[in-house]
Amino acid sequence: MELDALLNYPRALPAMSRTVTDLLTEMNKEDPSPKRVAELVGQDPSLTTRVLRLSNSAFFRSSRRIGNAQEAVALLGMTHVRSLVMAAALGASFKDVPGVNLAQFWRYSLRVAEISKSLAGVLRQNESNAYTAGLIHCIGDLVMHIAMPDEVGPLDMVVPPLDLQRAGAERVRFGYTYAEVGAGMVERWHFPAEIVSALRFQAEPFEGDNYDTLGGILHLASWRARAEEIQMDDAGLVSTFPDLVGLTLGLDLESVLGKDPEEWSFSQALSAFID
């Protein structure tokens, strides 16, 4: 399937609820209203539950338990709440994806989000954008499995979705990767241009005329999380470390490994995605 046809496939892009659409509209304003955002979140019980599960996870390390949407907005701030709303909306939208273990997928995505946020802090980049981009960086993989399972399934048998060589294999087989699919998807959802660009260039953030710092962060974070997922040993980490991307960002192997999450399982946050 061609990329344009894939992005226009009616069942590939889950429809956002009216509440989420209204939330995005409000949060995209120059001066969004915290009160209005909290009211909108509170209108959707399922969304509220998912947002609170993420709010109270170790990622945000609040000193007190957050009990409602108003407290989430007040304690975490608008940028983090935006991340949580989008994460919760995506978790609710993708429920049954052929050939994808959703528990593994979201666990991996949460790992990438946490590592991306940590690396962004080191590089003095926007940590909220990095967390959001990390969380949704592989969303194109779900879209591909939904829209073209008969084409993606055989590739899964040879190069599994979380294999380090997956993007290259997709490029050879389809002419595009999950990165371009995800970028096209979030662009239609009116995500910030920085996040769209990072998703699009994450596989090759510094190739040709590209210079996408957030894309480079995603590249390193996804490498690390995939290496952990397949339980790569120390020799494997050394041999597969993306040296060019690391050098361009000023990050070596030890500095990236130093940003490993304290907890790899993320069971509390994962409950926001898997009912």
> pLDDT category, 60, cuts 50, 70, 90?
low
- Is the pLDDT at 11 greater than 80, yes or no? no
Q: Following CA atoms 242, 109, 190, 18 in sequence, which dihedral angle do they give, to the nearest 10 degrees?
A: 180
CA distance 194 to 205: 13
* ∠ CA 113-116-121, rounded to 5°: 130
Torsion-angle region of 77 (φ positive above 0: left; ψ -120 to 50: alpha; else: beta): left
Give alpha helix (H) positions in the chain: 3-7, 18-27, 34-42, 45-55, 69-76, 78-93, 102-122, 127-136, 139-147, 149-158, 166-174, 178-188, 193-201, 213-229, 234-240, 243-249, 253-257, 267-270
Phi, psi of 203, deg, nearest 5: -75, -30
The DSSP secondary structure of 207-273, one letter per residue, reads STT---HHHHHHHHHHHHHHHHHTT--HHHHHHHS-HHHHHHHT--HHHHHTT--S-SS-HHHHTTT
pLDDT in tens, 134-189: 988 999 999 999 999 999 999 999 999 999 999 999 999 999 999 999 999 888 87
Q: Which of 206, 210, 200, 224 is nearest to 119 (CA)?
A: 224
pLDDT above 90: percentage of residues in the chain: 51
Q: Which of 241, 251, 18 is nearest to 125 (CA)?
A: 251
Helix (H, G, I), strand (E, B) or coil at 120: helix
All domains of the chain in start order, with CATH: 3-270 (1.10.3210.10)
pLDDT in tens, 194-231: 999 999 999 999 998 889 999 999 999 999 999 999 99
- Is the pLDDT at 41 greater than 80, yes or no? yes
CA distance 178 to 145: 10
Phi, psi of 160, deg, nearest 5: -55, 155
- pTM comes to 0.88
The pLDDT of 261-272, averaged and rounded, is 80
Stretch among 10-14, 124-128, 144-148, 157-161 having the lowest mean pLDDT: 10-14
pLDDT at 145: 93
